[in-house]
Amino acid sequence: MQPATAKWYDRRDSVFVEFCVEDSKHVKVNFDRSKFVFGCVSGTDHIKQQNTVDLFGEINPKGSKHRRTDRSVLLCIRKAEAGKSWPRLTKDKTKCNWLSLDFNNWKDWEDDSDEDLSSFDKFSEMMNTIGRDDVSDLDGAGEEHDSADRDNEQMPNLE
Smallest CA-to-CA distance from 15 within 6, 26, 5, 23 is with 6
Cβ atoms of 8 and 89 within 8 Å: the answer is yes
pTM for this prediction: 0.67
pLDDT in tens, 108-142: 765 555 444 444 455 455 555 554 444 444 444 44
Give the pLDDT score at 26: 94
135 vs 84, higher pLDDT = 84
Using the predicted structure, report yes or no on whether residue 57 has a pLDDT greater than 60. yes
Using the predicted structure, report yes or no on whether residue 8 has a pLDDT greater than 90. yes
Using the predicted structure, report yes or no on whether residue 86 has a pLDDT greater than 50. yes
- The strands making up 47-54's β-sheet, listed across from edge to edge, are 25-31, 35-42, 47-54
81 vs 146, higher pLDDT = 81
Smallest CA-to-CA distance from 2 within 96, 86, 95 is with 96
Rounded mean pLDDT of 96-119?
70
Cβ atoms of 29 and 23 within 8 Å: the answer is no
